[in-house]
Amino acid sequence: MDRIPVLRMGSLLLITIQVDMHDKLALQLQDDVTHRITEYGSTGVLIDISSLEIVDSFIGRMLANVAAMSRVLGAETVVVGMQPAVAITLVELGMSLPGVRTALSVEAGMELLLTAAAETAYGFDDERSQA
Amino acid sequence: MIESQGPVANTTAPKVRSLTKRRADHKRAAPLARPLSPGPAGHGQVRILIRSNADILEARRHGRELALRLGFSSIDCTLIATAISELSRNIVLYAGHGEICVGEDHPMGATGIVITAVDHGPGIRDVRSALQDGYSTSRGLGLGLPGVKRIMDEFEVTSKPRQGTTVTVKKWKSN
């Protein structure tokens, strides 16, 4: 397997990472997500990392990159399902993933993305985007 | 000044051996409860050659397995596996190839895991800078070495330009 599937669901992209990712796979995913956003005009990206037992600085950087690139392309990213041990490791490593939205579950993440999309559509987001 | 991996192996190996012997005395009839790590390294040490991205996964999998076997908490297992991940990535990134040794240490009844990363790459020109957050010569975040130092209990790096780098880290089991 040399690709992590990026699924389209309406205006959102869903990614579930279920394998221990090596670096090339992570870079490939980063590429794929940005291409899908432009291809489908997605407004949100949900990345489920609940199966990931390790998020080191490389994977952490990939997640931050995806969030940053998506934002530039007009899509919000939310990372869901982070294991407690992974959260502790990331903070200890010095990576608190600034700019990456997180939620505990897929459901909560989905809600976050849909709310964000609605806010943007109605122009409620102006203040935050300036901050 | 570079330290070959000799001294490290010498300090850990005999302790491990004596521990196994002691355990064997206690339960003479019992079969070996946990399989010793494969390969010629012996003494509970696993040696993983690091040449590619795939080897990084292999190395951290071995580390996590040993940490679990030694009874580390799940959080510690993740911290240990992450440290191995960072160290082995440094090998691939800077030296091209090298090796990771994962072993155990039991001084005075304590339980620890010892990870040694050895390469014969270009070496670190400025070790002090390399240990500071944000210093990177590879466009990374520069969190690798300082991050590893933070998530482990003991950290030692020796490096000599054009000869290589050895990083030894330990984590002790709490309680």
Cβ separation B79–A61 shorter than 8 A: no
- Indicate if the pLDDT at residue B38 is higher than 70: no
pLDDT tier at B45, thresholds 50, 70, 90: confident
Question: CATH for A6-130?
Answer: 3.30.750.24
In angstroms, what separates the C-alpha of A13 from chain B's closest C-alpha?
27
Q: C-alpha distances in angstroms, A50 versus A44, A56, B99, B147?
A: 19, 15, 30, 23
Q: Which residue has the tokens 């795939």?
A: B54
In sequence order, which residues have a C-beta less than 8 Å from that of residue B138 and are 6 or more positions away? B93, B94
Q: Which residue has the tokens 């897929």?
A: A106
Structure confidence at residue B138 (pLDDT): 67
In angstroms, what separates the C-alpha of B52 from chain A's closest C-alpha?
10
- Indicate if the pLDDT at residue B42 is higher than 70: no
Q: In A, which residues are within 8 Å of B150 by CB distance? A: 92-94
- Indicate if the pLDDT at residue B39 is higher than 50: no
Closest CA to A65 of A91, A31, A102: A31
- CA atoms A104, A47, A41, A73: torsion sign: positive
A88 near B CB under 8 A: yes
Q: Average pLDDT of chain B? A: 78
- Indicate if the pLDDT at residue B175 is higher than 80: no
Pairwise pLDDT comparison (B134 vs B63), residue with the higher score: B63
Give the SS3 label for residue A31: helix
Angle between helices B74-90 and A57-72 (to 10 degrees): 80
Closest CA to B89 of B49, B146, B50: B50
Domain locations along chain B: 6-16+44-172
B53 near A CB under 8 A: yes
Structure confidence at residue A22 (pLDDT): 87
Structure confidence at residue A6 (pLDDT): 96
Helix ranges (DSSP H) in A9-105 = 23-40, 57-72, 84-93
Residue type, A109: G
CA distance A82 to A102: 8
- CA atoms B40, B42, B46, B47: torsion sign: negative
Q: B97, B51 in Cβ contact below 8 A? A: yes
Question: Of A23, A53, A61, which is closest to B141 when you measure between CB atoms?
Answer: A61
Q: Residue B169 region, left (φ>0) first, then alpha (ψ -120 to 50), else beta?
A: beta
CA distance B127 to B130: 5
- Give B83-96 pLDDT, tens digit per residue: 999 999 999 989 99
- Give B107-129 pLDDT, tens digit per residue: 999 999 999 999 998 988 888 88
Question: Among 3.30.565.10, 3.40.50.2300, 3.40.50.1370, 1.10.340.30, what is the CATH number of B6-16+44-172?
Answer: 3.30.565.10
Q: Which residue has the tokens 């000799």?
A: B6
- Give B132-173 pLDDT, tens digit per residue: 887 777 656 666 888 999 999 999 999 998 899 999 999 999
In angstroms, what separates the C-alpha of B169 from chain A's closest C-alpha?
15
Rg of the Cα trace of chain A?
Answer: 14
Question: Of A23, A84, A92, which is closest to B151 when you measure between CB atoms?
Answer: A92
Low-confidence ranges of chain A (pLDDT < 70): 1, 123-131
In angstroms, what separates the C-alpha of B173 from chain A's closest C-alpha?
16
Lookup: tokens for B73: 């908490």
DSSP secondary-structure letter at B116? Answer: E
Question: Of B61, B75, B144, which is closest to A57 when you measure between CB atoms?
Answer: B144
| Share of residues in chain B with pLDDT > 90 (%) | 53
Q: What share of chain B is helix, strand, coil (3-state, %, to 5)?
A: 45, 20, 35
